[in-house]
Each structure stands twice: as structure tokens, then as C-alpha cells.
Amino acid sequence: MEYFFQQLINGLTLGSIYGLIAIGYTMVYGIIGMINFAHGEVFMLGSFIALTTILALAMIGITFFPLVLLIMLIVAMAFTALWGWSIERIAYRPLRGSFRLAPLITAIGMSIFLQNFVQVTQGARSKPLAPQLDGRIDLYLGSGGSIGVQISYMQILIIVTTVILMMVFSFVISKTALGRQQRACEQDAKMASLLGVNVDRTISLTFVMGASLAAVAGIMYLLYYGVIDFYIGFLAGVKAFTAAVLGGIGSLPGAMLGGLLIGLIETFFAGYFAAEYKDVAAFSILAIVLIFMPSGLLGRPEVEKV
């Protein structure tokens, strides 16, 4: 039983990271109906920017973790937001009225460009980082005082950060003027434009918000695992896209739910069966869910406008 609860904590931590990335996918799809396949590389870029920032701060003697974390968040979110804005302007806006595969192809091109750019500038080897937040809390001690169930301070930070960001974004979408504009563009962009909504700016801000969340996920991934490379964006991006589809593409709660489920499926399958087949388990469950629920767990059937 101790092992089950320990894997549950590990799965929720991994799922929180997937969920943050998946929100970016689902926000873009919800407004323009297209998948930003460069989003995984934005996550990877956020990790490398965070690593560069923390090493630069260490060189000038700044090692106080709360301050380092704050600076990392600001710098990484700023750079990835700029990249997200660039993706929308270069890969999506000029092709918004074209056939649906055109922006998909350019997004894949942006993904390959950024992946190779980081590989050339940072090298192909993995980049390690020493643990920045040590310590853990014993939730339950096993028999004879052995280790039972533990949660590290880093896991607490990831889960709490994810919950806070989910609450903030839910508030923005449901209660603010920007959220109303995003929902209006999601329902009918042309009518929203006729009613005075700046559709181009709204879509750009959506890309910026999604990229900022991916940066936070990249920072948490770096701090949690302590090693990154130029290829992590592809793997995490595929998992996060799977999470968005599983939860219901276009639904923010669905994206987070899908991320948590993918994280739990991978962790439990690796813990109780074989780690080599954890991806097979995740995609198999996705296929089973979509057979019976084509719109995902929390998704709504798409209604074609005529």
C-alpha cells in the first residue's frame, strides 16, 4: 500500500507538468481550431533558458532559491512568450485563411528549427543541474521505521504551482475581458471581429499565455529531473498533446485532467509492470477512451457552423 501511494504522488507530479503543457495546446485549438506542434519545443526552450539563467545567477553569487526561482520564471516566461508570439505571427497568421494543413506544416517546421537551433548552440549532450531544493516530508513510515510514503519539497512546489496557475487561468478565461474575447473568438471569430473584438491581438495573446505556461512546465521539469537535452520537447509535447486529446481538446479542465491521467498511467505502469511499455499503455488507454467518447473526457462535440 505504501508503494501505491508513493507512485500516486509521483504520478500526480509528472501529470502536473504534462497538464501545464497541454493547456497551451488546448487554448490554441479552442480559438483557431489548429494544433501548435511547436509547443513542445517552447517547453524545451523554457528549460534551457531557466538553466542558463540559474547558472548565470550562480556566477554572480545569487543562490537564494526563492529569488533564483522568481528570476527564472520571469526570464523564461518572457523569452518563451516572445517565441510563442513569433510562432503565431510567422507560422499561423499569414496562413489562417489557407487550407488546414498549411499552418500545421509550418508549425512542424518551426519545431524542427528550434530543436536544431538549440542542439547547435547548446550541444547534443544532456545538461545536468544539481538539486536546488532538497528535503522531503515523511507522510507515512513503514513497519520497523522503514521508508513508507514521502513527498519532496520539489513535488509540493510543482503540484502547488500547477493548482495556482490553473485557478488563475480559469479566472482569466471566465471573468476577465480578455477571457470573454477569447471565448467569443472560439465561438465565431468573424462575428467577434464585427462586434469590435481585436481577433489578431486575442489570438496572439493566447499563444503568449500558452507559451508562458510551457515555460513554467519547463522550469519544473528541469528542477525535478535535474537533466535536460534538446529532444525533451518532442517527447513531452507528444505526451501533452495526448493529454489534451484525452481530456477533451479545447477544454482547460480537460487538459489538466488528461495530463494528470497520463502521468498516473505512466507511473503506475512503470512501477507495477514494465517501464519500457508505459507509453504503449498511455496511448492504448487514449484509443479506448476515444472509441467510446470521441470528444474526450470533458470535451464537447464540435458543432459545424453553417
Residue 27 has pLDDT above 90, yes or no: no
Q: pLDDT tens digits for 51-102?
A: 999 999 999 999 899 999 999 999 999 999 999 999 888 888 888 777 777 8
| Complete DSSP assignment for 76-108 | HHHHHHHHHHHHIIIIIGGGTTS-THHHHHHHH
pTM equals 0.91
- Rg (C-alpha) for the chain, rounded Å, is 20
Q: pLDDT tens digits for 253-303?
A: 888 999 999 999 999 998 888 888 888 888 888 888 888 888 888 877 665
How is residue 180 written as a grid cell? Answer: 470573454
Strands 127-128 and 147-152, bridge-based pairing: unpaired
Residue 173's region, left for phi above 0, alpha for psi from -120 to 50, else beta, is: alpha
| Residue in the block written with cell 543541474 | 129
> Residue 167 and residue 84: Cα distance in Å, rounded?
22
Residue 218 has pLDDT above 90, yes or no: yes
How is residue 71 written as a grid cell? Answer: 528570476
Measure CA of the first residue to CA of the last residue in the chain; give whole Å. Answer: 55
> Residue 119 and residue 117: Cα distance in Å, rounded?
5
pLDDT of residue 304: 55
Give all strands (DSSP E) within the chain, no chain letters.
127-128, 136-141, 147-152, 227-228
At 140 the three-state DSSP class reads: strand
Average of per-residue pLDDT across 126-142? 82
Average of per-residue pLDDT across 222-235? 91
Q: pLDDT tens digits for 186-214?
A: 888 888 998 889 999 999 999 999 999 99
> Residue 14 and residue 279: Cα distance in Å, rounded?
14
User: Amino acid identity, residue 221?
Assistant: Y
pLDDT of residue 217: 93
How is residue 306 written as a grid cell? Answer: 453553417
